[in-house]
Amino acid sequence: MLGKASSALSTVALSGCGALSHAYIQHPPLKCGIPGSRGLFYDDGNKLLLSITSDQVFAWKTAVPFALFDAPTPDSIGEGPVLSIRYSLDAKLIGIQRSTLEIEFRNRDNGEAFFYRCKSESESILGFFWTDCPSCDIILVKSSGLDMFAYEPELKALRLVESKRLNVSWYIYTHESRLILLASGMQCKSFTGLQFSSGGIIRLPRFEMAMAKTEANEKPVLAAEDIHIVTMYGRIYCLQVDGIAMLLHLYRFYRDAVVQQGSLPIYSSKIAVSVIDNVLLVHQVDAKVVILYDIFADSWAPISAPLPLLLRGLPRANGSSSRSNAKDTAHVEVNAVSDREGIIYGDGWTFLIPDLICDAAHGALWRIHLDLEAIAASNSEVPSVLEFLQRRRLEASKAKKLCLAITRTIILERKPLPLVARAMDVLVSSYCHSIKTGSTLLGRMVGSETTTTSGIRHVDNSRTGVDGSLTKIARHKKFMRESATASGVEEEPQQSRTQYVENDSLDLASGFTVNRSSISLVSDSEENGGSERMKSSSGEPLEKSQSKSPYFLGAKEGTGAETSGVEVAQTTLQTQMLGPSGNPLNSDVSEQQESQIASPAISPDEMYGSVFAPVEEEMAVDPSYLVAVFVEYFRSAALEKLKVHRNLNVLTIQLLARSERYAELGLFIINKILEPSKEVAFQLLDSGRHNSQTRKLGLDMLRQLSLHHDYVLLLVQDGYYLEALCYARKHKVNTVRPSLFLEASFASNDSQHLAAVLRFFSDFIPDFRNSSDFNTYRRILNEMSSSVAV
Amino acid sequence: MGLASTTTGSEGIQFCIFDLKRGQEEGQELDKILFFFPTDLPFSTQLSVIGLSEGLITFTRIFSPEAACEVIEAERHSHVFYQAEPDIWMVMVVEKNKEAEAIWRIGALQQVLKEVHSLFMMFHGSIRALLEKEPGGGLARSHLYFFVMDYLTDFLSGKKLQLPSFRDCLKERGTVQMLTVGREAAIEVQSLVRVVESACAGNAACSSLVLFQDLLVSTTLSPDDTVNLFAYAILRLTPLALSSGSSSWSYLRKGSPASLITTGFIPGNSVSVTEPTYTSRDTSPGRQGQRYHVPRPLQRDKWSKGKDGFLVLETSGAEVGGLNSSTPTVWLRQTDERMYLCVFQQKNLTIILLIPVSSMINGEQGISMVKRQILENASLKILKVDEKLSRGWGGENAYHVRGYRYLLFDGDRNVSRASPPGKVTTLSKDSLLSLNRLREEVDLEKNRARHDDPSHEKDLEVCIRAKNNAWVIARVTRGKELYMVLEKANETLLYASDAVEKFSNRYCNGAFSLD
């Protein structure tokens, strides 16, 4: 355990010193070079990278980790120009825009095709996308407005559902937000927004974007590249680059309003943005640095200094895993690498929302990652670092490990109590939040139909396993029991699905909390955005099932890890069963399982097992400081109505008794700061060996807990056998052997008492007169009284 | 004797402190006397009181060297003995007078003696140490004089000393009264305590007491020290003690802010005193006219609240170099360490922080640093705690239980709780007298049991139907004691015992419910 702690610490320290970046791209990238490629497209609806050859399209799934990339799936699309190309969301059709007037639709199964052509020559098609909004399947954006169509498979045609007339200069859309922004006006700064959510179409009010004027009083025209739609914490934002004011404006979308939230300074004429795990990355492309923002609270301060992106894992530098080496055929590798080194923020880079970089020139697709260690190490404000880490979902287990390490460190370094207190607050409220939001979503989930994959299941299991015995929601316990008894894994889809949503719903709710400042504007587009974001993080398979409820997420879970699902589920089942038997350290399990953690929230069990117990074992911290830390943790937990690990109560008693602070110990017990339990009572009895007052507290607690047997036994042991008899009679304790009472009364050398005890048992226990005890002590009593008489 | 209408007006009460080791030779007897009240009694009378006491002590020591005489009951007087330190005795002589309600419980009077000595020790160290420091005895005498006189001032009722009588039998001196707090509030308090105590830099082992009004909320001191500091806080530090300068809810603190000392016996409030009475009887040469600087921590109206919320003790002793600090210090019994006494008050909360003198290298400067730290780190918390406790506080009658007049006393923790004084006064004199009598008996029984077998605590239960048909009940169980008076109660014993049972289950976690 200790080794674990210190190793985690050292990694923090190491990366802290050596870090030159807070975000990195990991070598190897996805190679999407196809001989004869005529262009790359990104289908964000299906998260596919598409490469077009003369008559074929090659698709790579980008939702799964790059290491798992398969060979691209080819589809024939026939000859002809391709302006844009998108797979339908159920992956059955491919839509290919051939010209500004014509879109071809091909069925992937049989290759049948049909065409959509504009009726009038005056309008041109700006683009199209597929949607999962209930009323339509595909949206066409034209210079004259929007057309929404439903696809009729039998007719092999599109049926117009609705159209909306307006002049459109250009548009942007992200599937992630389901939001389209249509620019119009002279400066293209007047916007109409629509959200095609799975709950229906939401029309946003028209709004204008602010733009600074140039000195010459020219009116700049807003270009599509200057606008980005991003979702963070389930909230949808629009970012607008104002190159003249050198500001990046943030607008937040509500159902009935668009509100400018603030502006970030920019240091480059070319700006790109990415969102990784809800962290906003503003790439200052000219300056070749990236600045990170965590737009969660009302803080607009960057969370890190501007640093370049780092290219990690070059084979030459540090040797990436052998598997990826083997996989990459190495014919261009050596040369390519040296080329690539110079091309961070190269001209060929296209930033794909949310977290991808496509290097068309080199045929490579990179994914941006956050370096949580580096970020944590670069900030000395511990509570805010913890808050930041607690909000991370993508690398939840890493974030959690870091949180644990940081917490251990501040205690070992004896940081001031107010700081420790705030750190505790952060961790506890984060955990409670994760629990609470789970239960709030439960009601809405019930009844939605779905199929469950084992992939989902093992996520649940690992989480429940980590929570261990302390998860207080009864439903959890039930689930654990059932899953532990089930031999297979494929049981109770309803239950496990509920849990899955519970895990993910953290994000939703974090959105909600922040909204309190603007309650009136909270919209459900937010929820959609939130669920969308989660889907993207967990991956979306090509075969997409229909979902009716906006809260329904289960079936969209990725299938990438499915193969290992069963094994993982079994190992977690084992840890679960070990859990109650008193292994609180089960958070330290295999990497494989940790990678399944959905949230970095730290349960009271882990707090005890991975922070308090190891720190206490190290004995480096003075007990009174440690008690003070515990008190702060108790305070945080009490605020959130969270029960602490019961061993923590015991540990607190040990610490107080060790430093002979019995008066305080008494206060802790009397005021129930340490909640009464059998463990606590026995620890008090043990610690009270040298302090009768403390021992009495333990006895009293036994009595108050109605642990009659133990209470009577201890009274007898202490020589209060008469009191014990009274008590035993009153509370009908008949499990304590009569001989114990008799021995005790004999030891007191008082024949009257011995006679009384004998009489008591003769009266109240049938057949006692025939027992050997009776005869023995009867004889002893006779001897005693005769000796007195003499 | 004692009825002379002196300025002190202490009818029938004498109080002396003497050292058996001193004045052994003929003609030197006066040297024994360290303190005598009333101060204006002729030496011959003083000596006769002390002579009698000494004689009895010497005599009873023959039979019981460990615990000599505790009390002499004469026809008209009781002599109450307390051996404060080896060979240093405190004796109180009280007159018995049924008409004047002068009916005493010896245990209660002993507690008074014990309390004044404990407080004296806390501020000045032991009497023996003072005597050793200055063998002439002048130092000890002047310290004792001011301290005990200041202490007795609190018992002044009009012009009369009002010692705890039978009317106070539902009180236990030398105990702490605690506020009952819920878990959440208790955690907040503990959190506050840790933050306050961490204000002292380094590894200094600070201690603290937190009071809400006149009730203790938290302590990190040993039980003995807690009792002493609590008693002092009630006397001089709590908001009530500060504001009135006289009465608190406590039954004793009634009366005027008059001081026994200012009533004219010793001139003025002079801190530095030449004491003609003592020095004249000081037989050792060269002591004449020696001046002693005597800090008077028990002097009334000397504490006041500063702008920053910290209490300041007014001192005028700038002339003396002995203490260059305006922050008073106290000795802790547990650790035998000298501590600065730093008191912060906000609204209902009084926080007493004790900082080891040894840890403060630069004295006053270090203390103001600590104070600043507390203000910075804890002021919000203090507000919060005060608010929380105020919300849960039921007022001065919070611990009243309808139909019961009770005293609950935990001898292990030195904690007591009783019916509010206002409710106790509704009891008839007969009931109080009966209970007083009963307590006297229980005291005796307890002492006897303690002599027999110190490790085994006896249980005891007495229910008495008094003349006025009130039930007077005492129960002792493993260190906890419960006394109660039930007036207007049903006549059966079963009823009385049920009433106790109910009370025990409801308010004592069933501690007295052992059938």
CATH number at residue B237: 3.30.450.30
- pLDDT single digits (tens) A568-615: 333 333 333 333 333 333 333 333 344 456 788 888 899 999 899 998
Q: Indicate which of B179, B190, B408 best probes the interface with A, i.e. most A CBs within 10 Å of its own CB.
A: B190
Domain assignment of residue A13, yes or no: no
Domain assignment of residue A593, yes or no: yes
pLDDT at B472 over 90: yes
Domain assignment of residue B267, yes or no: no
Q: How close B193 gets to chain A, by Cα (Å)?
A: 9
Domain assignment of residue A207, yes or no: no
Check whether residue B370 and residue B234 sit in a common domain: yes
Average of per-residue pLDDT across B128-143 = 91
The domain containing residue B455 runs over which residues?
405-507
Counting the structural domains of chain B, the total is 3
Please report residues of B whose CB lies closer than 8 A to that of A753. none
Looking at the complex, does the CB of residue B39 fall below 8 Å from at least one CB of chain A?
no
Domain assignment of residue B108, yes or no: yes
Domain assignment of residue A25, yes or no: no
Check whether residue B358 and residue B229 sit in a common domain: yes
Pairing of strands B471-477, B480-486: antiparallel
- pLDDT single digits (tens) B268-300: 333 333 333 443 344 333 333 345 678 888 888
- pLDDT single digits (tens) A392-417: 888 888 899 999 999 999 999 888 88
Residue matched to tokens 């009264």? B177
Domain assignment of residue B27, yes or no: yes
Phi and psi at A34, nearest 5°, equal -120, 135
pTM of this structure = 0.78
pLDDT at A123 over 70: yes
Q: Which of A254, A223, A222, A226 is nearest to A239 (CA)?
A: A226
- Across the A/B interface, how many CB contacts are shorter than 8 Å? 86
Domain assignment of residue B261, yes or no: no
Check whether residue B56 and residue B134 sit in a common domain: yes
Domain assignment of residue A56, yes or no: no
Domain assignment of residue B104, yes or no: yes
Task: Give the pLDDT confidence score for residue A77 in this predicted structure.
Answer: 83
Check whether residue B157 and residue B193 sit in a common domain: no
Domain boundary among B139, B168, B197: B168
Domain assignment of residue A384, yes or no: yes
Residue A66 pLDDT level (bands cut at 50, 70, 90): low
Q: Least CA distance to B216: which residue of chain A?
A: A667
Average of per-residue pLDDT across B325-340 = 85
**Residues whose CB is less than 8 angstroms from the CB of residue B76 and which lie 6 or more positions away in sequence, other chains included:** B95, B96, B97
For helices B183-197 and A662-670, angle between their N-to-C axes, nearest 10 degrees: 150
Residue B485 pLDDT level (bands cut at 50, 70, 90): very high
Q: Least CA distance to A417: which residue of chain B?
A: B195
Domain assignment of residue A455, yes or no: yes
Check whether residue B111 and residue B25 sit in a common domain: yes
Check whether residue B378 and residue B427 sit in a common domain: no
Domain assignment of residue B276, yes or no: no
Check whether residue B90 and residue B136 sit in a common domain: yes
A100-107 LR contacts (CB < 8 Å, sep 24+): A100/A124, A100/A125, A100/A126, A101/A125, A103/A128, A103/A140, A104/A77, A104/A78, A104/A80, A105/A151, A105/A158, A106/A75, A106/A77, A106/A78, A107/A156
Domain CATH number, residue B462 = 3.30.450
pLDDT at B82 over 90: yes
Q: How close B187 gets to chain A, by Cα (Å)?
A: 6
Q: Do B218 and A667 touch (CB under 8 A)?
A: yes
Counting the structural domains of chain A, the total is 1
Q: How far apart are CA B446 and CA B451, in angstroms?
A: 9
Domain assignment of residue B382, yes or no: yes
Check whether residue B416 and residue B498 sit in a common domain: yes
- pLDDT single digits (tens) A540-568: 322 333 333 333 333 333 333 333 333 33
Looking at the complex, does the CB of residue A666 fall below 8 Å from at least one CB of chain B?
yes
CB-based contact B156:B256 (threshold 8 Å): yes
Domain boundary among B168, B197, B223: B168
Domain boundary among B330, B359, B392: B392
A490 DSSP assignment: -
454-493 in B: which are within 8 Å (CB) of A? 455-456, 459, 478-479
Q: Do A627 and B413 touch (CB under 8 A)?
A: no
Amino acid identity of B56? L
Check whether residue B241 and residue B358 sit in a common domain: yes
Average of per-residue pLDDT across A78-93 = 87
- pLDDT single digits (tens) A132-180: 888 888 999 998 888 999 988 888 888 889 888 889 999 999 988 889 9
pLDDT at A9 over 80: no
Check whether residue B218 and residue B159 sit in a common domain: no
Check whether residue B388 and residue B409 sit in a common domain: no
Please report residues of B whose CB lies closer than 8 A to that of A625. 198
Looking at the complex, does the CB of residue A732 fall below 8 Å from at least one CB of chain B?
no
Task: Give the pLDDT confidence score for residue A453 in this predicted structure.
Answer: 34
Q: How far apart are CA A114 and CA A125, in angstroms?
A: 17
For helices A738-747 and A751-764, angle between their N-to-C axes, nearest 10 degrees: 170
Q: Least CA distance to B505: which residue of chain A?
A: A704
Q: How far apart are CA A713 and CA A737, in angstroms?
A: 9
Q: Least CA distance to A719: which residue of chain B?
A: B456
Check whether residue B234 and residue B356 sit in a common domain: yes
Domain assignment of residue B53, yes or no: yes
Looking at the complex, does the CB of residue B506 fall below 8 Å from at least one CB of chain A?
no
Domain assignment of residue A268, yes or no: no
Please report residues of A whose CB lies closer than 8 A to that of B205. 624
Looking at the complex, does the CB of residue B132 fall below 8 Å from at least one CB of chain A?
no
SS percent in chain B: helix, strand, coil, step 5:
35, 20, 40
Residue B131 pLDDT level (bands cut at 50, 70, 90): very high
B64 vs B159 pLDDT, higher one: B64
Task: Give the pLDDT confidence score for residue B203 in this predicted structure.
Answer: 61
Please report residues of B whose CB lies closer than 8 A to that of A696. 412, 478-479
* Of residues A638, A723, A730, nearest to B183 (C-beta): A638
| Cα distance from N-terminal residue to C-terminal residue, chain B | 51
Whether omega before A74 lies within 30 degrees of 0, making that bond cis, reads no
Residue B201 pLDDT level (bands cut at 50, 70, 90): low
The domain containing residue A459 runs over which residues?
380-520+562-607
Q: Least CA distance to A638: which residue of chain B?
A: B184
Instruction: Tell me how crowded residue A318 is: count the other CB atoms within 10 A of its CB.
Output: 9
- pLDDT single digits (tens) A103-121: 998 888 888 888 888 887 7
